[in-house]
Amino acid sequence: DARVQLKNVSKSYDGTTFAVKNASVTIEPGEFFVLVGPSGCGKSTLLRMMAGLEKITAGRLEIGDELANDMPPNKRQLSMVFQNYALYPHLTVEENILFGLKVRKVSKSERNRRCLEAVEMLGMTEYLKRKPRELSGGQRQRVALARAVVSHMPICLMDEPLSNLDAKLRGQMRAEIRQLQQELGITMIYVTHDQVEAMTMGDRIMVLKEGEVQQIGRPMDIYNDP
């Protein structure tokens, strides 16, 4: 299922200092869970270990009921949205959205069905034949979200997905991402350095400082006990 568990997870890149130290938490299915803290506190490292993009130095990562420490990224039941969107510039919006499904040998009719569903949810139906350079920042962001939606994975990881957008659009996209997560019923693990974003989006928030977990709680609990 869509539960993610960390048990004393640590990461050292250099063998002496820790980018993440003894992080433990159980993230429940359907939860919107936010990792927050200043630049360099270890948020991306923690997320990348969940995704299998970074090796875990010590501790246990479980996805569902499985030990996932050494599970290859493509075997993990999760999708990931990056800060810079990671779109292929030479592919159209449609091709970008469907690339991952093609690789996973999902049938053409199923691919088209999922693509239509995703672009309708995100209001991107008119832009399927465009290239990323012909889109606004917010539209590129929606293509990256559509790619996560069509994967039909029960868990989604997002690493500062809104940091390249202006303040107004950021507010709008926060609401859209929150709504998308609830409609799909997926588990969201969301990284941001923005405290307002954490407070307005998260069911629960993990506050990191210099690689260590400072607090885990609901926004109100953290607001009352900063």
Tell me the longest C-alpha to C-alpha distance in the chain: 52
The answer to whether 123 contacts ligand ADP (rule: CB under 6 A) is no
The answer to whether 160 contacts ligand ADP (rule: CB under 6 A) is yes
List the one residue out of 93, 188, 192 whose CA is nearest residue 147: 93
The answer to whether 49 contacts ligand ADP (rule: CB under 6 A) is no
Q: What angle do CA 213, 157, 116 make, to 5 degrees?
A: 160
**Exposed, middle or buried, 12 (CB in 10 Å: 0-12/13-18/19+)?**
middle
214-221: list long-range contacts, CB under 8 Å, 24+ apart: 214/37, 216/25
Separation between Cα atoms, residue 49 and residue 129, nearest integer Å: 35
Out of 21, 32, 33, 44, the only residue in the binding site for ligand ADP (CB under 6 A) is 44
Out of 2, 4, 9, 19, the only residue in the binding site for ligand ADP (CB under 6 A) is 19
Least spacing, CB of residue 217 vs ligand ADP, in Å: 19
DSSP 83: T
List the one residue out of 117, 164, 78 whose CA is nearest residue 128: 117
- List the beta bridge partners of residue 66: 63
By beta-carbon proximity to ligand ADP, the closer residue of 38 and 123 is 38
Q: Which of residues 62-121 bind ligand ADP (CB under 6 A)?
A: 83
By beta-carbon proximity to ligand ADP, the closer residue of 37 and 161 is 37
Contacts with ligand ADP: how many residues (CB under 6 A)?
12
Least spacing, CB of residue 19 vs ligand ADP, in Å: 3
Least spacing, CB of residue 35 vs ligand ADP, in Å: 8
Residues that bind ligand ADP in the complex, under the rule CB under 6 A: 13, 19, 37, 39-45, 83, 160
